[in-house]
């Protein structure tokens, strides 16, 4: 019944797999669906296809408890669930900045055609505002109207590396609904989260709103985060010109609680599967709606972010005494160690990773690039096979004329600059994430350059 509805998650990528597993952990009976038979087989045998701390253990425990199953059968999925969550990807369209909704369309259509009783379809994927209305029409077209299937929208705010906690202990739940029935079903589908919070003496705020607002909350939150990062990186540019130190500036402004000290880390900028693509899709959608002017600043946010990559190239050229030609600096004849390939630490994800992009630029400019990343090497090799991948920090640094630290892994933060100095051919380091102790590295004889620091 509605007290504990049976739930399905369509799409078992990063989002759907994490949600399916965590919902079983909350006590729900869960079915995960995907068209990819390989992924489904892996999940059913207890193997998580992504790297996310804590998820493996939860998967195995809940498979064993019989609360969790994965299937490629859409009819079975339709039959199983009272509430169906759509968690498929919405990648950037190949022809421009907007979002590709073909996976949403395919999964909703497939599901709707097999529904035989009243149930709720809930969108979770990040989509252009207006998609929920369109999904509702799609559902209307593919289900008999006497079934009374309804649609709702409930965005997610998962951060890679913290995804399990973000599902079990979200800082808010947002639902866009059109009826009391849908509102009640979604409340029941979130009850496990509220109950857990109560046992831990916390409260999870619930925002109940309309479709458009629910869809916008997600992209607005990501646009704000991207803007905050680009703001501090713009300050880094000014510090570079004026001779200031952006790390001290960030600390000083962050003490004002209205500003806050989080997401003020200047460096190589944001990447990943969400922020870059979401701010572009948001601009494209606003343009279509005639509100393009309101989001013109996001174009600037994007440009500031991309300029950070050029900055690392400039600093590298300065350190190596390379002059810039019209096509940028020439690095031929140099060996460069790139430490970090992922878009942030504690993940193996290299999608839109600034670190890997810079490694590629250095390679294009003639450098012999040797990359080391604690988790991301396999994905990086697939994305950029032309680079050399090493299995240790020492191997990457050995014989290098320059070291670029481009992802702030703890291993790099805690590395011993004296020992590394003995392996390198030249003690030159660009700290693309301002994560090293500049004093320690300088004392060990390294010529150190940070981002937005003198
Ligand atoms: C982000 C949002 O945080 C999350 O709420 C949303 O659901 C998905 O997108 P995620 O992509 O996992 O999550 O990464 P996040 O931790 O937000 O970092 C994004 C990028 O910003 C990383 O490349 C990171 O290195 C960079 N960043 C972050 C900075 O450059 N400076 C900062 O101060 C913070």
Residue 324: per-residue pLDDT: 79
Nearest to 411 by CA among 428, 432, 387, 394: 394
Please tell me if the CB atom of residue 263 comes closer than 6 angstroms to any atom of ligand 1: yes
Residue 354 CA to residue 343 CA, distance in Å, equals: 6
Pairing mode, strands 324-325 and 328-329? antiparallel
Residue 420: per-residue pLDDT: 98
Mean pLDDT over 137-155 rounds to 95
Q: List the structure tokens of 114.
A: 């097999």
Q: What is the CATH number of domain 219-298?
A: 1.10.1040.10
| Rounded percentage of the chain residues whose pLDDT exceeds 90 | 95
Nearest-atom number in ligand 1 for the CA of 268 is 30
Residue 334 CA to residue 394 CA, distance in Å, equals: 17
Kindly provide the residue ranges of all beta strands, DSSP E only, lying in 99-142, ordered along the sequence: 120-123
**Tell me, what's the ipTM?**
0.97
Spans of all domains in the chain: 7-209, 219-298, 306-449
Residue 386: per-residue pLDDT: 98
Angle between helices 211-242 and 131-142 (to 10 degrees): 150
Give residue 262 CA to ligand 1 midpoint distance, Å: 11
pLDDT: is 131 or 328 the higher one?
Answer: 131
CATH class, domain 306-449, is alpha beta
Sole residue written with tokens 């994305």:
383
Sole residue written with tokens 């996001």:
298
Q: Identical fold at 7-209 and 306-449?
A: yes
CATH superfamily of 7-209: NAD(P)-binding Rossmann-like Domain (3.40.50.720)
* DSSP 8-state assignment for residue 293: G
Digit-coded pLDDT (tens) for 179-200: 999 999 999 999 999 999 999 9
Give residue 221 CA to ligand 1 midpoint distance, Å: 11
Please give the model's pTM, rounded to 2 decimal places: 0.95
Residue 285 CA to residue 215 CA, distance in Å, equals: 12
Please tell me if the CB atom of residue 269 comes closer than 6 angstroms to any atom of ligand 1: yes
- 159 known ligand binder: yes
Residue 169 CA to residue 185 CA, distance in Å, equals: 20
Please tell me if the CB atom of residue 267 comes closer than 6 angstroms to any atom of ligand 1: yes
What mean pLDDT is reported for the chain?
96
Q: What is the CA radius of gyration of the chain?
A: 24
Residue 1 pLDDT greater than 60, yes or no: no
Digit-coded pLDDT (tens) for 204-249: 999 999 999 999 999 999 999 999 999 999 999 999 999 999 999 9
Give residue 429 CA to ligand 1 midpoint distance, Å: 25
């Amino acid at each position: 019944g509605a007290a504990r509805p049976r739930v399905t998650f369509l799409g078992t990528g990063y989002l759907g797999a994490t949600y399916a597993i965590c919902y079983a952990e909350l006590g729900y009976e869960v079915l995960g669906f995907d068209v990819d038979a390989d992924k489904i087989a892996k999940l059913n045998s207890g193997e998580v296809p992504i790297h996310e701390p804590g998820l493996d253990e939860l998967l195995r425990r809940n498979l064993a408890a019989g609360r969790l199953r994965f299937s490629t059968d859409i009819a079975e999925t339709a039959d199983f669930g009272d509430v169906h969550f759509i968690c498929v990807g919405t990648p950037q369209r190949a022809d421009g900045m907007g979002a590709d909704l073909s996976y949403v369309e395919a999964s909703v259509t497939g599901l709707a055609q097999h529904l035989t009783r009243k149930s709720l379809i809930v969108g979770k994927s990040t989509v252009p505002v207006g998609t929920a209305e369109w999904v509702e029409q799609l559902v209307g077209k593919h289900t008999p109207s006497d079934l009374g299937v309804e649609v709702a929208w409930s965005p997610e705010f998962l951060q890679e590396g913290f995804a399990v906690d973000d599902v079990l202990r979200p800082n808010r739940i947002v639902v866009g609904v059109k009826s009391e029935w849908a509102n009640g079903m979604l409340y029941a589908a979130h009850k496990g989260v509220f109950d857990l919070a109560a046992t831990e003496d916390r409260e999870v705020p619930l925002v109940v709103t309309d479709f458009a607002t629910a869809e916008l909350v997600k992209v607005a939150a990501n646009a704000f985060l991207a803007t905050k990062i680009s703001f501090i990186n713009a300050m880094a540019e000014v510090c570079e010109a004026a001779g200031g130190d952006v790390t001290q500036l960030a600390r000083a402004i962050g003490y004002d609680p209205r500003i806050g000290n989080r997401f003020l880390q200047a460096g190589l900028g944001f990447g990943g599967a969400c922020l870059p693509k979401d701010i572009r899709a948001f601009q494209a959608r606003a343009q279509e709606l005639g509100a393009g002017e309101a989001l013109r600043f996001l174009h600037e946010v994007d440009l500031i972010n991309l300029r950070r990559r050029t900055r690392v190239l400039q600093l590298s050229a300065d350190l190596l005494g390379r002059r810039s030609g019209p096509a940028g600096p020439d690095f031929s004849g140099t060996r460069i160690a790139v430490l970090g390939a992922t878009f942030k630490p504690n993940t193996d994800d290299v999608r839109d990773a600034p670190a890997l992009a810079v490694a590629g630029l250095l390679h294009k400019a003639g450098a012999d690039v040797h990359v080391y990343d604690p988790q991301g090497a396999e994905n990086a090799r697939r994305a950029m096979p032309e680079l050399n991948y090493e299995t240790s920090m020492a191997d990457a640094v050995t014989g290098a004329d320059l070291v670029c630290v481009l992802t702030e892994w703890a291993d790099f933060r805690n590395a011993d600059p004296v020992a590394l100095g003995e392996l390198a051919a030249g003690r030159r380091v660009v700290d693309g994430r301002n994560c090293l102790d500049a004093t320690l590295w300088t004392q060990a004889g390294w010529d150190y350059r940070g981002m937005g620091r003198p």
